[in-house]
Amino acid sequence: MENYLKNIKFDNNGLIPAIIQDEKGTVLMLGYMNEETLKKTIETLKVHFWSRSRKKLWLKGESSGHFQEVKKIYLDCDGDTILIKVNQTVASCHEGYYSCFWRKLKEKEWEICEEKIFDPQKVYK
């Protein structure tokens, strides 16, 4: 077992949430990792996740080319959440926004607070 894995508390499904943030501080997305995807992320310096819906490993950017290049990896105080700072290629959101957090609550309604930067229908054919 890799030494760094001793500090990580994976949940009952073998997963840990991973917050992805760009180097300027914008939170881009939240994904889930298992031991294999964390190791692949560390080895390749490109973020890999475990898809809970598809039940398979995936490399962020494998379809779109919008990769996340790892700059730093942090573990929270409880050992149950990872923060990965990245250099984001184009955008993180599959709906065309830079961040997956492109809606904010305003007067009990969700308001779009970012501009789309690409057309998902052209990227995900």
Taken in order of first residue, the domains within the chain and their CATH numbers are: 3-119 (3.10.20.810)
Give the pLDDT confidence of 69-125 residue by residue, as tens digits. 999 999 999 999 999 999 999 999 999 999 999 999 999 999 999 999 999 999 997
The answer to whether 27 and 42 are in contact (CB under 8 A) is no
φ/ψ bin of 63: left (φ > 0), alpha (ψ from -120 to 50), beta (otherwise): alpha
E-assigned strands of the chain? 16-22, 27-33, 48-51, 56-59, 68-75, 82-88, 103-106, 109-112
Q: Identify the residue whose tokens are 């290049």.
A: 69
pLDDT of 2 higher than 90: no
pLDDT of 62 higher than 70: yes
Give the pLDDT confidence of 7-55 residue by residue, as tens digits. 999 999 999 999 999 999 999 999 999 999 999 999 999 999 999 999 9
The answer to whether 48 and 40 are in contact (CB under 8 A) is yes
